[in-house]
Amino acid sequence: MTTLSSPAALWERTLKALRQHIDAESFSTWIEPLRVGDYADGELRLIVPSIYFRNWVASNYLDEIEQAFGHQAGREVYLTFEVESGEGEDAALVSAEEVNGLFPTPERPVAGRLQPMGPALPSTRLNPSYTFESFVVGESNRFAYAAAQAVADPESRAYNPLFLYGGAGLGKTHLMHAIGQQMLAIGPRRNVLYVSSEVFMNAFIEAIRRKEPTQFRNCFRSVDLLLIDDVQFFAGAERSQIEFFHTFNALFDAGKKIVISSDHPPKELTELEERLRSRFEAGLIVDIQPPDLETRVAILQRKAQDLGLTLNAETAIYMAERIRTNIRKLEGALKKLSAHCSVRGDTPSIETARKLLVEFFSGEEPLKISVEKIQLVVCKFFDINIHDLIGGNRSRKFTVPRQYAAFLAREMTEMSYPEIARKFGGRDHTSIIHAHRKVKRELEGDLNKQNLVKYLTKLVKEEPFPETRR
């Protein structure tokens, strides 16, 4: 195994490996300018020339770099970025050769399958793993999924433009790539173009510098489907906004399809021109919310299957309970767990996840409170014995305290639903989920029950271990 003291040597070998499967033009444009910074404890810091450059590399090459460097280092690696200098519209100009790959000419038309002749921008490639089949559907994204499928039908004229918004790592980019690939699968002769807003701006700036705006416009205005990611980054780039406004109008008037993503809805993108926001609002606006627990578990199990990893339900639930809002973070935690277990020949467990994934669970520090103490506090308050609390008696005298104890156990400990269920007589974990949700619903608007939970919580935190009837 290579020591941690030679990041420069590791990076040189990483570059050699990356060069084997990244096309030469993309490699020289996006990989060679990266400079290696610090490397310690599995974290590699790369120095990038601009914010735009950082965003593009993070969106398109993060996994490849982490895997290549990790292979050289002999361990799981996580990237961080340091922006060296420059912000604003001129921060990261693409090269003339790179832009050549995007602009269509008689010798190099934009191909239906996004593989133009000659050098090609990374933006013209759709990620083959981002398909509708690999997208895990839950209540939080079901409408977005259905809308995306409708747009992907070449014969459909519904939902134009489609505007997807939501936090980072919730599947917006996945759906955009899926739309593009589905449309090409149905109608392979159609022109589809996926770009980020940064690439659009960079190509526009380079077209101005080379005095070739016509080629730029021909490229973006001759497609059947334009997928443009992260439009919030147009903020402050006035000329790019104007150009995109006219590109949008040209495509819309020609009956072409437009799909847009952002981290906020159009009305909140106040740094964009009002007329541009108005165009976005004319179509279908779909919010993608963080997935619920069941969907997060399903995503983990699907990703684990793709990794060839056996992940039991208890460990999946434990991880999904603690990473709630970012699917990329959830996938990152799973990859780290998979790599660790693969090297050691272990089977993933809650205990391994608890020790290994601390940084992924940051901000949710566990309380050092036991389920047993919660149970005894509840028993003392309701004047029942512990055997009735954890037993099967379904009398209201016992079911109500049992539900409050289960609710507090979930709120006040780091234990998973299955772990809590075992503390309640070996019940199925779904009974604990039901109890938690039932009490949570009852607390809404009921001041007496809110006060009861606050009082029980105070007793659990502050009182010594109580004695109760056994």
User: How does strand 225-229 pair with strand 284-287?
Assistant: unpaired
pLDDT at 461: 77
Write the CB contacts of 88 (distance below 8 Å, at least 6 apart in sequence): 236, 237
Peptide bond into 161 cis (omega under 30): yes
Using CA atoms, how far apart are residues 166 and 290, in angstroms rounded to an integer? 8
Residue with tokens 């009956």: 255
pLDDT at 161: 93
Could you tell me the CA-to-CA distances from 363 to 324, 359, 382, 434 in Å, in that order? 12, 9, 33, 26
- Mean pLDDT value of segment 382-387: 90
- Tell me the two tokens of residue 464: 């010594």
CA angle 257, 121, 105 (to 5 degrees): 75
Q: Is the pLDDT of residue 271 over 90?
A: no
Residue with tokens 């989920």: 433
DSSP code per residue over 225-264: EEEEE-GGGGTT-HHHHHHHHHHHHHHHHTT-EEEEEESS
Give the residue with greater pLDDT, 119 vs 395.
395
pLDDT digits (tens, 9 = 90+) for 426-448: 888 888 999 999 999 999 888 88
- CA dihedral for 379, 382, 388, 389, sign (positive or negative): negative
- Mean pLDDT value of segment 102-121: 36
Which SS3 state, helix, strand or coil, does residue 286 take?
strand
Helix axis angle for 396-412 and 371-382, nearest 10°, is: 150
pLDDT digits (tens, 9 = 90+) for 320-367: 878 877 788 888 889 888 888 888 888 888 888 888 887 777 654 444
Pick the CATH number of 7-83 from 3.40.50.300, 3.40.50.2020, 3.40.50.20, 3.30.300.180: 3.30.300.180
| Run of H or E including 138 | none
Which SS3 state, helix, strand or coil, does residue 278 take?
helix
| Run of H or E including 276 | helix 274-281
Find the radius of gyration of the CA atoms of the chain: 26
- Is the Cβ–Cβ distance between 96 and 108 less than 8 Å? no
pLDDT at 115: 33
CATH class for the domain made up of 293-361: mainly alpha
Q: Using pLDDT thresholds of 50, 70 and 90, give the confidence band for residue 239.
A: confident
pLDDT at 89: 33
pLDDT at 318: 83
pLDDT at 465: 57
Q: Edge to edge, what strands does the sheet with 257-262 contain?
A: 192-196, 225-229, 257-262, 162-165, 284-287
Residue with tokens 């147009």: 234
- Mean pLDDT value of segment 233-239: 85
pTM: 0.56
Using CA atoms, how far apart are residues 123 and 116, in angstroms rounded to an integer? 12
Which SS3 state, helix, strand or coil, does residue 137 take?
coil
- Is the Cβ–Cβ distance between 222 and 110 less than 8 Å? yes
Topology (CATH level 3) of domain 96-287: Rossmann fold (3.40.50)
Q: For residue 97, how far is the Cα from the chain centroid?
A: 32
CB 273: neighbour CB atoms within 10 A? 15
Residue 153 has what DSSP assignment? S
Q: Is the pLDDT of residue 463 over 70?
A: no
371-462 CATH:
1.10.1750.10
pLDDT at 260: 96
DSSP code per residue over 359-422: GGGTT-PPP---HHHHHHHHHHHHT--HHHHHS----HHHHHHHHHHHHHHHHHS---HHHHHH
**Amino acid (1-letter code) at residue 181:** Q
Nearest to 366 by CA among 414, 320, 332: 414
For the chain, the domains span 7-83, 96-287, 293-361, 371-462
pLDDT digits (tens, 9 = 90+) for 145-195: 999 999 998 888 888 999 999 988 888 999 999 999 898 888 767 888 888
Q: Using pLDDT thresholds of 50, 70 and 90, give the confidence band for residue 86.
A: very low
Give the torsion through C-alpha atoms of 336, 340, 345, 349, to 10 deg.
-70
Using CA atoms, how far apart are residues 242 and 437, in angstroms rounded to an integer? 49
Same topology between domain 7-83 and domain 96-287: no
| pLDDT, the chain, mean | 81
